């Protein structure tokens, strides 16, 4: 992709690797603006998209977006930009899968939760790699159907080795312009680590609590006791970030979190969605990452440690079947 793309310039060819809710939303936005996009995902979604297009459900309308879709990683072969949207737990395997197929000069953009996905992609890919911090409320609402619940903006920056390239800023700006052309607001930053840690702290506030409480964001934010838990989780994440060399403004961060609760009032966290569907969560890359870093730095993070442990317990199974009672004394 060449820097300086305008609305009259040819679109770059775009592949979305891991076309779940985030990948389908942003890939769909690019496709509906006219970009050549290929979504790479699960067979049931690919089949549905081939049959009726990608269905995007907005609060006030539903659209069918024509877009190519494939189940095979080889579909990235002609892409100028590859959007990596797999779960954080699958990042390293994704990098290894992509490596034999990605064009030499293709740009890789991680649209994932967590702070170290770009670094892990670097282990397998000798390409320009960028990280995008994602702010969107979205979920799959059926095969080939993505539901938009709020926001839909990005913050983009270069991975640390990519940032050393003389053309890194120009390429970053061109990718941001690509998104903006598709009506996706995309800010750029020279400090992507701070942006990623900011999003991590926000995830630490919302994801586990939403999953454990089976709650939408607005209901969580209305309860003082839950707000206090969220604030403690964020405070711990900020402490760990600072000890890791990333300075965050906790007061400004909390203000942003309550704005997120308003903007995504009806959203369940991705962790909550995963548990309901019986899928593995990304909690190890969220509260669990804070715990891991805290252990290495000898910092106590009891709230994040508790949230992480409880989500892992919930993720492992459900002993209470609807309508069932334990029969235990006093129950």
Domain range annotation of the chain: 14-190, 194-315
The answer to whether the CB of 264 falls within 8 A of the CB of 294 is no
- Of 77, 141, 80, 138, nearest to 109 (Cα)? 80
pLDDT at 320: 74
DSSP single-letter state for residue 190: S
Compute the distance between CA of residue 73 and CA of residue 55 in angstroms, rounded to an integer: 22
pLDDT digits (tens, 9 = 90+) for 126-165: 999 999 999 999 999 999 999 999 999 999 999 999 999 9
Q: Which CATH class is domain 14-190?
A: alpha beta
The answer to whether the CB of 82 falls within 8 A of the CB of 106 is yes
Compute the distance between CA of residue 224 and CA of residue 39 in angstroms, rounded to an integer: 42
pTM for the model stands at 0.90
Instruction: Return the structure tokens found at 302.
Output: 């009891």
Provide the pLDDT confidence category of residue 8 given band limits of 50, 70 and 90: confident
- Of 134, 97, 115, 177, nearest to 22 (Cα)? 134
For residue 321, pLDDT over 80 is answered with no
pLDDT digits (tens, 9 = 90+) for 50-93: 999 999 999 999 999 999 999 999 999 999 999 999 999 999 99
Compute the distance between CA of residue 157 and CA of residue 188 in angstroms, rounded to an integer: 6
DSSP single-letter state for residue 154: E
Residue 63: how many other CB atoms lie within 10 Å: 12
pLDDT at 54: 98
pLDDT digits (tens, 9 = 90+) for 175-197: 999 999 999 999 999 999 999 99
- Which residues on adjacent β-strands are paired with residue 146? 56, 140
- Of 48, 259, 206, 34, nearest to 140 (Cα)? 48
Provide the pLDDT confidence category of residue 322 given band limits of 50, 70 and 90: low
- Which residues on adjacent β-strands are paired with residue 148? 138
Compute the distance between CA of residue 68 and CA of residue 243 in angstroms, rounded to an integer: 45
Please report, rounded to a whole number, the percentage of residues in the chain having pLDDT higher than 90.
90
Per the model's pLDDT, the better-predicted residue between 189 and 105 turns out to be 189
For residue 327, pLDDT over 90 is answered with no
Compute the distance between CA of residue 81 and CA of residue 126 in angstroms, rounded to an integer: 14
194-315 placed in CATH 3.40.50.11690: no
Cβ-based neighbours of 171, under 8 Å, separated by 6 or more: 1, 3, 107, 128, 130, 158, 165
pLDDT at 93: 97
pLDDT digits (tens, 9 = 90+) for 261-284: 999 999 999 999 999 999 999 999
Catalytic site residue from 87, 199, 259, 279: 199
E strand or H helix at 188: strand 186-188
Q: At residue 12, what are phi and psi to the nearest 5 degrees?
A: -70, 155
pLDDT at 9: 85
Residue 157: how many other CB atoms lie within 10 Å: 26
For residue 325, pLDDT over 60 is answered with no
Q: How many angstroms separate the Cα of 88 from the Cα of each of 53, 72, 115?
A: 27, 20, 9
Instruction: Return the structure tokens found at 93.
Output: 């395997």
* Strand 37-40 with 68-70, pairing: parallel
Is residue 199 flagged as an active site residue?
Answer: yes
């Amino acid at each position: 992709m060449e820097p300086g793309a305008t609305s009259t310039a040819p679109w770059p060819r775009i592949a979305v690797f891991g076309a779940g809710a985030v990948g389908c939303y942003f890939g769909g936005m690019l496709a509906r603006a006219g970009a050549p996009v290929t979504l790479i995902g699960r067979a049931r979604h690919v089949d549905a998209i081939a049959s009726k297009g990608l269905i995007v459900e907005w609060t006030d309308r539903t659209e069918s977006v024509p877009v190519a879709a494939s189940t095979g990683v080889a579909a990235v072969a002609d892409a100028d930009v590859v959007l990596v949207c797999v779960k954080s737990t699958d990042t390293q395997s994704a990098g290894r899968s992509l490596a034999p197929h990605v064009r030499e000069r293709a740009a890789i953009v991680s649209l994932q939760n967590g702070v170290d996905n770009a670094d892990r992609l670097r282990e397998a890919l000798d390409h320009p790699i960028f990280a995008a911090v994602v702010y969107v409320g979205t979920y799959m609402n059926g095969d080939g159907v993505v539901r938009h619940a709020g926001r839909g903006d990005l913050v983009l920056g270069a991975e640390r080795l990519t940032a050393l390239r003389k053309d890194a800023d120009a390429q970053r700006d061109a990718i941001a312009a690509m998104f903006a052309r598709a009506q996706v607001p995309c800010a750029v930053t020279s400090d992507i680590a701070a942006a990623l840690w900011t999003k991590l702290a926000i995830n630490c506030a919302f994801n586990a609590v939403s999953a454990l409480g089976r709650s939408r964001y607005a209901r969580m934010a209305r309860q003082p006791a839950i707000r206090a838990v969220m604030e403690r989780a964020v405070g711990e994440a900020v402490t760990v970030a600072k000890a890791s060399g990333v300075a965050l403004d906790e007061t400004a961060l909390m203000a942003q979190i309550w704005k997120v609760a308003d903007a995504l009032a009806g959203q369940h966290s991705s962790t909550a969605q995963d548990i309901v569907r019986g899928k593995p969560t990304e909690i190890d890359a969220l509260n669990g990452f804070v715990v891991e870093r805290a252990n290495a730095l000898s910092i106590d993070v009891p709230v994040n440690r508790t949230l992480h442990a409880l989500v892992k317990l919930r993720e492992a199974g459900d002993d209470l079947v609807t309508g069932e009672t334990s029969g235990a004394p006093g129950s």
